Amino acid sequence: MSAGRLAIIGGTGLTRLKDLEITRREVMHTPYGEPSGPLTIGQYHGHEVLFLPRHGAQHTIPPHQVNYRANLWALKSAGVETVLAVAAVGGITAEMSPGRIAIPDQIIDYTWSRFHTFFDGNGESGVTHVDMTYPYNGELRQTLIAASRELDLGAVEKGTYAATQGPRLETAAEIDRLERDGCDVVGMTGMPEAALARELDLRYACCAVVANWAAGRSGDVITMEEIAKNLETGMARVKQLLPTVIGRCCNGEAPE
């Protein structure tokens, strides 16, 4: 697949892209305010990549305060066509064990009170309803899945992402409800990010990293130490995955 300019939005555990040979940083201003930080632009394993840490370079912006509209608008303005979102999640269903990668194919949005659309009736576009039947780009998902198979990373190849408001974690009863709803993983940033990407006609997919068993799924309380430890394992897999995915996106081939 040909990706146009490609961006990675990094989540918790991925505030910088280690192998990115940075050529410049661009401070962007948007009609929706400031993005989470400057866009970092550089060469990643021979391909141009833009990187934006969702929670800011110092991880100071909580999920409900991320300016999702500014982030997506800034990427679109920079000529990005493809966005790979990396996000930490809790695992709800049995296969979503800590340290694993998952490539979700569906989302249920439980967030509230976030700026969730570019189409609020004020602009030229008026009332617009974008299709969200399949919230993630199919081709980009398949690229992620193929790369994971090739590298034997054992990614879970589908699943429904529950987007919760945060920043607190859920109660055990809330997780039971999410499971009854058909959710497999739970995170706090999947929406409105995916919907805004669709509104801007960006190719968008998510690489979720399971940081912990969701509330009530392990019998233990969830600690930040546990999350950090599992994220290290999961992000190591993401870092293995990215060069192959980006190689395929940029020229249809995996890099050596």
> Is position 212 an interface residue for ligand HPA (rule: CB under 6 A)?
yes
Task: Report the residue closest to ligand HPA, judged by CB.
Answer: 90
Least separation in angstroms between residue 215's CB and ligand HPA is 6
- The stretch among 28-36, 128-136, 141-149, 208-216 that binds ligand HPA (CB under 6 A) is 208-216
- DSSP class of residue 238 equals H
Q: Which residues, 163 to 202, sit near ligand HPA by CB under 6 A?
A: 164, 169-170, 186-188
In terms of Cβ atoms closer than 10 Å to its own Cβ (0-12, 13-18, 19+), residue 77 is middle
Least separation in angstroms between residue 187's CB and ligand HPA is 5
Beta strands at 203-213 and 101-102: parallel, antiparallel or unpaired: antiparallel
The tokens for 180 are: 């009854």
In angstroms, rounded to a whole number, what is the distance separating the alpha carbons of residues 169 and 174?
10
Least separation in angstroms between residue 252's CB and ligand HPA is 33
In angstroms, rounded to a whole number, what is the distance separating the alpha carbons of residues 228 and 134?
31
> Is position 6 an interface residue for ligand HPA (rule: CB under 6 A)?
no
The site for ligand HPA, by CB under 6 A, has a size of 12
The values of phi and psi at residue 234, to 5°, are -65, -45
> Is position 89 an interface residue for ligand HPA (rule: CB under 6 A)?
yes
> Is position 90 an interface residue for ligand HPA (rule: CB under 6 A)?
yes
> Is position 102 an interface residue for ligand HPA (rule: CB under 6 A)?
no
> Is position 9 an interface residue for ligand HPA (rule: CB under 6 A)?
no
DSSP output for 13-74: T-SS-TT-EEEEEE---BTTB--SSPEEEEEETTEEEEEEETTTTTT-S-GGG--HHHHHHH
Q: Which residues does residue 206 pair with via DSSP β-bridges, in sequence order?
A: 85
- Taking CB under 6 A as the criterion, the residue among 7, 80, 194, 214 binding ligand HPA is 214
Least separation in angstroms between residue 164's CB and ligand HPA is 5
Which residues sit at the interface with ligand HPA, rule CB under 6 A? 88-90, 164, 169-170, 186-188, 211-212, 214
